[in-house]
Amino acid sequence: MTGLRIVFMGTPEFACPTLQRLMERGEQVVAVVTQPDRPKGRGQQMMPPPVKVLAQQHGIPVLQPLKVRTPENIEQIRELAPDLIVVVAFGQILPKALLDIPRHGCINVHASLLPRYRGAAPLNWCIINGETETGVTTMLMDVGLDTGDMLLKKTTPIDPDEDAQALHDRLSRIGAAALAETLDLLVAGKLIPEKQDDSLTNYAPLLKKEHGLIDWSREPAAIKNQVRGMNPWPGAYSELDGKMLKIYRVRTGEGSGVPGTVLAAGRNGLEVACGGGSVIIDELQLEGKKRLPAQEFLAGYRVAAGAILGKDAPSV
């Protein structure tokens, strides 16, 4: 326990392990600031963010400003007199007036090895771009987008078959450990902030549905990385018989042919030609049907060799 008064700002599941670690350490988490409840699902029911659920389970006051930068919301946080603000995937840009409130500043847990992959979706883009290593960086926040001084880095390899969901879960735990170590170094006076080299950065923009559209003219490894990086959202997809075909898991093959052409469909999966080779689809979901292993899907839905998947797609 550091004895610091902490305001925690975070929203999705990724932020929960860090908040949980703060509570387990006995830190003084005086409030949690998170995004407003949002409608979700087919019924569009209002659902609380995961961080709110966790905070309420432990009796921590929760603030849900629509815009945290308004004067009244900044003043509300100022009245909490935090020594430190911890930010993990909060989802809003913090203004200087807010960053200046705590005497130790605002520390962010960022899911990449800065200065690489600044932006909203670093975890996904490192997989899409074929990186073999990533990690978590704790950072002293400034008014820029992920441009503050780096404090601590934790590195981890990326398994060649690991998708974004699996990496998300691992990095959320690594981030919690990194923040705990950062706090210990802070109170011991041993933190050494390091400036970022802006020339080394690679922007990781917010994912959009169209990023999942597969261009079959790309190489097998690139398509595999796209599928991995888009799982679970927005999901990689193509088209089969005029219907959307969601693709969840693939491996590279050794076939060849016109990109997008089905080379084989059977017990070994659904093999599709792409630029310079092929990929074998192992898990998929056709519009209106269940998500299934390819072998089970093909047992109930005939796909002939020579069928064409998709339309012309832009490169990611």
Final residue before a domain boundary, out of 165, 183, 200:
200
Q: How far apart are CA 193 and CA 206, in angstroms?
A: 27
- Is 313 within the bounds of a domain? no
Question: What CATH number does the domain containing 255 carry?
Answer: 3.10.25.10
pTM: 0.94
pLDDT bracket for residue 314 (50, 70, 90): very low
Structure tokens at 128: 């899409």
Q: Tell me the per-residue pLDDT of 245-275, one tens digit each, with 9 for 90 and over.
A: 999 999 999 999 999 999 999 999 999 999 9
pLDDT bracket for residue 43 (50, 70, 90): confident
Structure tokens at 221: 């490894």
* 20 within 8 A of 50, measured Cβ to Cβ: no
Q: Are residue 292 and residue 158 in the same domain, yes or no?
A: no
Q: Which residues touch 43 (CB under 8 Å, ≥6 apart)?
A: none
Q: Which residues touch 13 (CB under 8 Å, ≥6 apart)?
A: 50, 168, 172
Q: Are residue 16 and residue 163 in the same domain, yes or no?
A: yes
Q: Tell me the per-residue pLDDT of 98-151, one tens digit each, with 9 for 90 and over.
A: 999 999 999 999 999 999 999 999 999 999 999 999 999 999 999 999 999 999
Provide the domain count of the chain: 2
Q: Are residue 80 and residue 190 in the same domain, yes or no?
A: yes
Q: Residues of 227-257 as b/e, b for ≥16 C-beta within 10 angstroms?
A: bbbbbeebbbbbbbeeeebbbbbbbebebeb
* Backbone dihedral angles phi then psi of residue 249, each to the nearest 5 degrees: -150, 130
pLDDT bracket for residue 313 (50, 70, 90): very low
| Angle between the N-to-C axes of helices 16-24 and 164-187, in degrees from 0 to 180, rounded to the nearest 10 | 40
Q: How far apart are CA 15 and CA 8, in angstroms?
A: 10
Structural domain boundaries, residue 254: 209-300
Question: What CATH number does the domain containing 76 carry?
Answer: 3.40.50.170
Q: Are residue 98 and residue 235 in the same domain, yes or no?
A: no
- Is 55 within the bounds of a domain? yes
Average pLDDT of the residues in 28-34 = 98
**In terms of Cα–Cα distance, which of 284, 219, 223, 214 is closest to 249?**
284
Q: Are residue 119 and residue 248 in the same domain, yes or no?
A: no
* 44 within 8 A of 82, measured Cβ to Cβ: no
Q: How far apart are CA 14 and CA 119, in angstroms?
A: 15
DSSP code for 15: G
The whole-number pLDDT of residue 41 equals 82
Q: Are residue 46 and residue 148 in the same domain, yes or no?
A: yes
Q: Are residue 186 and residue 71 in the same domain, yes or no?
A: yes
pLDDT reading at 316 higher than 60? no
